[in-house]
Amino acid sequence: MAENCTHDCSSCSSNCKSKDLRATLHDGSCVKKVIGVVSGKGGVGKSLVTALLAAKMRKSGFKTAVLDADITGPSIPTSFGVSEQKAMGDKNGTIYPVKSEKGVKLMSMNFLLEKETDPVLWRGPVIAGAVKQFWTDVDWGDIDFMFVDMPPGTGDVPLTVFQSLPVDGIVIVSSPQQLVRVIVEKAVKMAGMMKIPILGLVENMSYVKCPHCNEEIKVFGESNINGIALEYGIPVLAKIPMSEDISNAIDSGDVESLDGEFLDAAVKQIEMLNTKN
């Protein structure tokens, strides 16, 4: 790969297709499975799903981690209640992740900033390079499942993650609005082009439960997620409700307190990766 690679293969004359572009994991770290959490657009709850899955898998007894690849818009530290903490490093350039209360290991750009509200004014290739460093320079230790919270879209960072990290599968996050169908299809097609397995779809903001009769109210109308899943042969792993409990837990940094029973099918699907080579 060219030294100044921008990961835009369409405008590159180098013949990299036969080369292994994967980055080397930090010495002493062992990450068994890497799961990307993606969406074609922002605002659908990708970081929420990432945090919920990592916390749920940790509750199931697995050693889990989150690599927050959303460099310019990180929200993982807030979800786990560690936004005031900083990632420590040593003289050899090794960075140590922050641990949540329940032991989920986290690495996010906000852990490296003086103030969490400081903006990161970097261009795409520099951001992509930082994401790769979260893999190569962070001492993750022994991890069963690492979840990578991707920024929205199909640009530099998703390309870097798919090319540089040994991604075992992705979870695509959507919401019920009709517009999202096009966005989901973009994510599905990108995964196909990059030869990354799709574990399934998760629909966020799927419904609201009436507090009196328990009826599911479809705030955004009837979803077409099942139709998309059928068309592409992808399972629907979860439909997450709009809930005050979820919102309060995220805002207060207490995502690990949520039971997340609606993610049971997703957890089983991810656990099945342990049986595959």
What was the pLDDT predicted at 225? 86
The DSSP code sequence of 198-247 is EEEEEESS--EE-TTT-PEE-TT-S--HHHHHHHHT--EEEEPPP-HHHH
pLDDT digits (tens, 9 = 90+) for 237-257: 999 999 999 999 999 999 999
Give pLDDT < 70 ranges for the chain: 1-20, 178-179, 276-277
The one-letter amino acid at 56? K
What was the pLDDT predicted at 1? 42
Strand locations in the chain (E): 30-38, 64-68, 88-89, 95-96, 98-99, 105-107, 142-149, 169-174, 198-203, 208-209, 216-217, 236-239
What was the pLDDT predicted at 30? 96
Token pair for 141: 């230790």
Residues 159, 124, 49, 107, CA torsion sign: positive
What was the pLDDT predicted at 23? 92
Length of the chain: 277
pLDDT digits (tens, 9 = 90+) for 99-121: 999 999 999 999 999 888 888 88
CB pairs under 8 A, 24+ apart, for 209-213?
A: 209/241, 209/243
pTM: 0.89
Judged by phi (left if over 0) then psi (alpha if -120 to 50, else beta), residue 85 lies in beta
| 3-class SS of residue 187 | helix
CB pairs under 8 A, 24+ apart, for 259-262?
A: 260/52, 260/55, 260/56, 262/238
Cross-strand bridge partners of residue 67: 107, 148
What was the pLDDT predicted at 252? 95
Opening angle at CA 161, ends 157 and 163, nearest 5: 115
